[in-house]
Chains A and B, each alone.
Chain A
Amino acid sequence: EDQVTQSPEALRLQEGESSSLNCSYTVSGLRGLFWYRQDPGKGPEFLFTLYSAGEEKEKERLKATLTKKESFLHITAPKPEDSATYLCAVQANSGNTDKLIFGTGTRLQVFP
């Protein structure tokens, strides 16, 4: 069964303390892996797309990487404004259609 699992569920960091969020997946026919950020009371906001193992994308303090089984979202020297829930989603080929599966997210809190 296609599955996307994010860990940890919640993460508390001090400002400047770098860390990584994990998204592991078991799907047949990976089409793409996506990272989104969701602030309280808002819809998710697109961050990155990764298509193949070894690919990396960066944006400010965030860097996303992809292997054949998982993706990491590395946060370098985080600031309080990076506090949000980070969602991972995988697009997989399912028969003659594509299927999009979201993980349940990692809730990140960065305190001063």
Chain B
Amino acid sequence: EAQVTQNPRYLITVTGKKLTVTCSQNMNHEYMSWYRQDPGLGLRQIYYSMNVEVTDKGDVPEGYKVSRKEKRNFPLILESPSPNQTSLYFCASTNTHRGGGEKLFFGSGTQLSVL
């Protein structure tokens, strides 16, 4: 089954404790992206990757890091989480060569709470 898998589903942590949210897709997609979803603000892009070893900032990259060492995996790293990073996070991928918004496959989300 074609899917984007994120882990963990729920995460509660404390300020400053490094964490990683994993994302994996089994569709051989080149384009992958991370979003955060906050009430009243909609989905906002954090980082995206057009291919292996190619990553770029989205609209809200501050406080986040990503890496793309393999085509299927695109982990999101918070090196020193802060309470304002409490949010619902989604990983997404697509096979359209321009990436963007068409036919994005989204994971089920990671609800992160930073205390």
Contacts and interface: CB of A to CB of B under 8 A. Distances in A.
Interface of A: 4, 31-32, 34, 36, 41-46, 49, 87, 89-91, 97-100, 102-105
B102 A104 contact: no
Nearest to B6: A43
Shortest Cβ-Cβ A-B pairs, 4 listed: A43-B106, A102-B43, A102-B42, A104-B42
A42 B107 CA distance: 8
Contacts of B56: 97
Contacts of B90: 43-44
Contacts, number: 59
Interface residues of B, number: 24
B41 A104 contact: yes
Contacts of A89: 43, 101
A97 B98 CA distance: 10
A31 B100 contact: yes
Judged by DSSP, the binding face of A is strand
B103 A49 contact: yes
A98 B104 CA distance: 15
B21 interface: no
Given A32-B100, A98-B98, A100-B100, 5 more contacts: A41-B108, A42-B106, A91-B102, A98-B100, A99-B59
B42 A103 contact: yes
Most buried by A among B42, B99, B103: B42
Nearest to B45: A100
Nearest to B59: A99
11 contacts: A32-B100, A43-B108, A44-B106, A46-B105, A87-B43, A91-B100, A91-B102, A98-B99, A98-B100, A102-B42, A102-B44
